[in-house]
A and B are shown apart, each in its own frame.
Chain A
Amino acid sequence: MRGSSPRMTAKHRGGTDYIPKMRPQDILSPVAAGLFCKGGNFHVDPVRPVERAVITHGHSDHARAGHGAVLATQETLDIMRLRYGENFAGSTQAVRYGEEIRLGDVTVKFHPAGHVLGSAQIAVSCKDTCIVASGDYKDQRDPTCAPFEAVPCDVFITEATFGLPVFRHGDAALEVKKLLASVTLFPERAHLVGAYSLGKAQRVIALIREAGYDAPIYLHGAMEKITHYYQTRGIALGELKPVRGMKKADLAGTIALAPPTATSDIWTRRFPDPVTAFASGWMRVRARARQRGVELPLVISDHADWDGLTATIQATGAGEIWVTHGQEDALVHWCQTQGLAARPLDLVGYGDEEESETLAEGEEA
């Protein structure tokens, strides 16, 4: 979808000027708990407990426990249940992609965000004005979730995790090729791939399978549950085994996946001379990779890169862009050079899961 013709839809919308429009900030506005919709009395991805929450996806910085009522896709609700237990919210309601739901004065509609399984952009419409809160998204191919869809709108709310032109994520399949070449070159070593437990790990496994590698892949205990859930949703990941209980010598020549923090800690001592890999968009920048002691950086991201962000903004046809978490400055500047109204939303509390996915003490398996 990159490179699709920019802003056609905006012109269409121009024709309805005679109908009085809502001001977008009257529909959605940033408050301490997150983005609040007054007309519908709900928050999008609230960072503290609220009465009614609409949630884009299951990463812990967006999906927190303790809300009264939660509206999200079935997958997101399932993931929250896996992570927080049965009683993570007072009540839940599942919604399908494309389904329209009326909440007070507004309607909300979920569209695939291509970020992780169940991830959604949320289109909030009131009268003639449409705002899309995209949560986290990527426009790159991912065999483990529904592909991203550009949604025409007036205001597009975008993340900016990789909002600098230095972030351009190449073809993830080539990065996986790099990993497999290293496995061939060092058959006596184990390859330990750091990957976020939700989404990234399963995508990396699926890509490894697509590349023709069919030996068992080993998992850190912290990612077993969520990976199993992906399998129950019909995503083929091949034979997976727990690292737990394996003898050191038997892990030679294998690939194992673990949460990023585990790849540089005591847990790694069970592997024979491990090659530490890390699958992340941050690996594009050498200092970041070196800081983490990564030996094999794999540029595989679940966020849109710079080209993806800018192409998506143009494809939505939105005339106004609100930028949430990440490198807001550069993206806001770019929007302005394109003649788009843009502003940072200064929301706090997002982008945390990926930066600091940590394991509880003793969660060693």
Chain B
Amino acid sequence: MNRFAELLDRLAYEPGRNNKLRLIEAYFRAVGDPDRGYALAALTGALSFKHAKPGLIRDLIMERTDPVLFGLSYDYVGDLSETIALMWPRGTSPLTGHNNPPPPTLTEVVTTLRTLGKTELPRQLARWLDELDETGRWALLKLVTGAMRIGISARLAKTAAAALGNKDPHEIELIWPGLTPPYTELFAWLEGHGEKPANLDPAPFRPVMLAHAIEDEDFADLDAADYIAEWKWDGIRVQAVSGRDAQGHLQVRLYSRTGEDITRSFPDLTPSQHLPGAIDGELLVMRDGRVQSFNVLQQRLNRKVVSPKLTRDFPMHLRAYDLLADGDNDLRELTFAERREKLEAFVKKLDDPRIDLSPTIAFENWEALRAARADPASAGAGADAEAVEGVMLKRRDAPYLPGRPKGQWWKWKRDPHIIDAVLMYAQRGHGKRSSFYSDYTFGVWTSGEEGEQLVPVGKAYFGFTDEELIEIDRFVRRNTVEKFGPVRHVVHEPNQGLVLEVAFEGLQRSTRHKSGIAMRFPRISRLRWDKPPRDADRLETLEKLLKADTAKNLVTSDNH
């Protein structure tokens, strides 16, 4: 447990993806089975046991410390698990048979927690806390309270495991659904002394094919006749898979584009996947036959509990654009045009209101497609145009290839919204950027009680080039008005300051921001050294844009 805790501790501070991978990989090399398997399970969220409530661990510490000292400490540290981990008294257990009982292994903790009764939990926890060091106690408490937020995705942990055997993480993704902790056979295969575990899952995930962003100069080499165009939907890419198990029962799964099983978050879609096959498509919210914007979809995502009200107010819909398997037949070797035909037949046979076809866009040449992209509503997307974020181009003769093969699929996004905003505050970045002011808060003008003033509307930390970063960093250092800890207040007067051109995908109401507005996916698209701050945009411009967005959404939700 202490070794696993050390890993978590290090991961929590390490900002770089590659360095995180190295740390996890080194752990997998240094630690044997079954501990590393349970660690992989913990990192991928594959562990399941009843979590302890914060009240329980608070009671444990209150029995052992002076309440005044606990209160002062908790105030200082600000995190319950951490406070307890740090101030847990040494060696208070009367049960200790000898001087140094070995601290529990991760395996011991996980397997014990699976079977432990509720009444036994406090005593068991106390015994472990006695035996572990500060970091070990911290990790244990995070684990048992189910609050392990360390910025590691399941995908990252699997990628680190794949590195053990120089395998492609996709290979792990493929067999993952058939595996259970502690993944002994997986590690045996990765280390070259075992067979590759077979995926016996009747509804497996298949690695997805991705598109390249198209640039203007790319069109010169492309022939419009070779491509089929579709709308690019602003939803969530999913794979909907159904298959019959050995008993002939239909198993239904919904996967994210990285292969995470998200079936449980969308139970309303499960009955619709009633034919064996694998659809590649976009998850959307559909109200009264009309696709809703990403803003609406977002309200359905990341909910712990999927209540009947949620599924009623945000009904899920699958818009299909590819078919990877039809029954037992793998279609991935076929060309896109052939698969498209099979898909049309499959969707027809499904005959389900929650699953429909993503329409193709007829076009003669690139100019015609450019026009369609600029105005999806009149080019066939109709009322769904709000959820269109561009067009997709797919080669007619392309097989379904995992990864991002060159020249097969292209995405051609709609132009983003653009505003000119004024840099107000800058904060240091992390990792490689820790010596640079690379996180920028920017604002637009509004009329306040004291006349014209800037109100912050967003924060961006990418979009600029390395050279631009150096320039902004220099500007920040030379134009700092005040410092608050890591934050610099940068000069922002009508005739003094830096104007940033900010690109973003959409707007949302927000109570967290003073302006009442939150931006989606904001990034710095250009530095406007030429523009005086007084000429930057105004809050009214954003308000107007937001109103246009909300009006569309309101109409549809009123109707049902």
Contact = CB atoms under 8 A, between A and B. Distances in A.
Interface stretch (B61-69, B197-205, B221-229): B61-69
Contacts of A182: 10
A333 B434 contact: no
A185 B14 contact: no
Interface residues of B, number: 35
A168 B85 CA distance: 11
A166 B83 contact: yes
B435 to A, nearest CB: 5
Given A164-B69, A186-B22, A285-B86, A276 B434 contact: yes
Contact of B13 (A166, A265, A297): A297
Interface in A160-185: 164-168, 170, 178, 182, 185
B428 A287 contact: no
Interface in B17-48: 19, 22-23, 26
Interface stretch (B73-81, B165-173, B405-413, B516-524): B73-81
The interface residues of chain B, by DSSP majority, are classed as helix
B103 to A, nearest CB: 14
Given A285-B86, A287-B79, A295 B73 contact: no
A166 B77 CA distance: 8
A185 B77 CA distance: 30
A225 B257 CA distance: 57
B15 interface: yes
Given A186-B22, A265-B435, A295-B14, A165 B82 contact: no
Contacts of A268: 434-435
Given A166-B86, A186-B19, A287-B77, A293 B430 contact: yes
B77 A285 contact: yes
A266 B435 contact: yes
Interface string B410-451: 000000000000000000101110110000000000000000
Contacts of B10: 182, 296
Given A287-B77, A291-B486, A334-B66, A327 B72 contact: yes
Contacts of B435: 264-269
Contact of B26 (A185, A266, A287, A337): A185
Contacts of B22: 185-186
Contact of B73 (A164, A170, A294, A297): A164
B76 A166 contact: yes
B436 to A, nearest CB: 9
A127 interface: no
B97 interface: no
B428 A334 contact: no
B102 interface: no
Contacts of A166: 73, 76-77, 83, 86-87
Interface string A291-314: 101111100000000000000000
Contact of B86 (A284, A327, A329, A333): A284
Interface residues of A, number: 36
A295 B431 contact: yes
Contacts of A340: none
B439 to A, nearest CB: 12
Contacts of B76: 164, 166, 285, 327
B164 to A, nearest CB: 15
Contacts of A185: 22-23, 26
A177 to B, nearest CB: 11
Contact of B69 (A165, A269, A284): A165
A286 B430 contact: no
A233 to B, nearest CB: 34
Nearest to B14: A295
A198 B548 CA distance: 62
Contacts of B13: 289-290, 294-297
Nearest to B432: A273
B83 A286 contact: no
Given A166-B83, A293-B486, A337 B432 contact: no
Contacts of B72: 164, 327, 329-330, 333
B230 interface: no
Interface in A265-280: 265-269, 273, 276
Contacts of A284: 86, 134
B367 to A, nearest CB: 47
A327 B71 CA distance: 13
A171 B66 CA distance: 25
Contacts of A273: 16, 432
Contacts of B117: none
B485 interface: yes
Nearest to B133: A170
Interface string A57-85: 00000000000000000000000000000
9 contacts: A164-B72, A165-B69, A168-B86, A264-B428, A264-B435, A287-B79, A289-B13, A291-B485, A330-B69
Interface of A: 164-168, 170, 178, 182, 185-186, 264-269, 273, 276, 284-287, 289-291, 293-297, 327, 329-330, 333-334, 337
Given A166-B87, A264-B428, 9 more contacts: A168-B134, A269-B435, A273-B432, A293-B430, A295-B14, A327-B72, A330-B68, A330-B72, A337-B66
Interface of B: 6, 10, 12-16, 19, 22-23, 26, 65-66, 68-69, 72-73, 76-79, 82-83, 86-87, 133-134, 428, 430-432, 434-435, 485-486
Query: Top 6 nearest A-B pairs by Cβ distance?
Result: A166-B86, A165-B87, A166-B73, A293-B434, A330-B72, A268-B435
